[in-house]
């Protein structure tokens, strides 16, 4: 089940493989030489467990994520459903994508973030690269991926930092489409009752960083 390498990141290798006759994605967290071996093994195993649990849990909240076929925390390995589709980043940057569709997807992204935060789940790496746009029987849907840094928290600070992460990457990547960020915020505030408190705290955090 070695598979074809499709991405090598700082945290993990992603390979396209097969699992019981199905096309699948294998995610293997790579060892970190700067950490003691036992500590590194435990950290990678823990993050593998957390990611598998989060991918499963969020489905109950109406968020589409890949199905986990197999989890081997001791080997830092996850085998997941292969999702065929472009990233939301590519879709928003594609000049052929209608403006109204881009606004709709951004609002949906905000809705997804609102659902996560309403259940005190911090994604940890919200970017338009970690959302896939795929076809389904009803048309198109967004699929949220990469829960490797996800954790649970009710703290405004943690939720605000999650939003800041998305805002920074969005503005850096899609600086020519500010209306999209406005749509993200709209979807977020419509979904999550404490969204305005989080956004206000986000402004406070950004102010601290700016004048630190």
The structural domains of the chain, with segments of one domain joined by +, span 4-81, 86-211
pLDDT of 87 above 70: yes
CATH number corresponding to 4-81: 3.30.200.20
Three-state secondary structure call for residue 127: coil
Q: What architecture does CATH give domain 86-211?
A: Orthogonal Bundle (1.10)
Whole-prediction pTM value?
0.92
Lowest mean pLDDT among 4-18, 72-86, 179-193: 4-18
**Active site annotation includes 125:** yes
Maximum separation of any 2 CA atoms in the chain, in Å: 55
Supply the pLDDT for residue 185.
Answer: 98
Convert the pLDDT of each residue in 94-147 to its tens digit: 999 999 999 999 999 999 999 999 999 999 999 999 999 998 878 899 999 999
Alpha carbon distance 134, 88 (integer Å): 10
Q: Which among 40, 94, 125, 146 is annotated as catalytic? A: 125
β-partners of residue 14 are: 7, 27
Three-state secondary structure call for residue 23: strand
Supply the pLDDT for residue 136.
Answer: 82
Supply φ then ψ for residue 137, to 5 degrees.
Answer: -65, -25
Half-sphere exposure of 48 (CA within 13 A, CB side): 25
């Amino acid at each position: 089940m070695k598979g074809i390498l499709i991405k090598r990141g700082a945290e993990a290798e992603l390979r396209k493989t097969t699992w019981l006759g199905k096309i699948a994605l294998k995610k293997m967290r790579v060892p970190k030489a700067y950490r003691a071996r036992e500590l590194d093994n435990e950290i990678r195993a823990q993050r593998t467990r957390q990611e598998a649990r989060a991918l499963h849990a969020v489905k109950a909240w109406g968020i589409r994520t890949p199905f986990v076929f197999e989890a081997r925390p001791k080997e830092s390995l996850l085998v997941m459903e292969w999702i065929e589709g472009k990233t939301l980043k590519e879709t928003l940057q594609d000049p052929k994508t209608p403006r109204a569709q881009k606004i709709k997807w951004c609002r949906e992204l905000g809705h997804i973030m609102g659902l996560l935060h309403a259940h005190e789940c911090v994604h940890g790496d919200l970017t338009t690269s970690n959302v896939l746009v795929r076809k389904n029987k009803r048309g198109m849907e967004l699929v949220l991926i990469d829960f490797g840094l996800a954790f649970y928290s009710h703290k405004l600070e943690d939720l605000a930092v999650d939003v800041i992460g998305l805002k920074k990457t969005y503005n850096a990547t899609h600086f020519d489409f500010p209306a999209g960020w406005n749509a993200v915020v709209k979807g977020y505030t419509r979904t999550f009752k404490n969204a305005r408190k989080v956004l206000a705290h986000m402004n406070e955090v950004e102010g601290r960083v700016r004048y630190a």
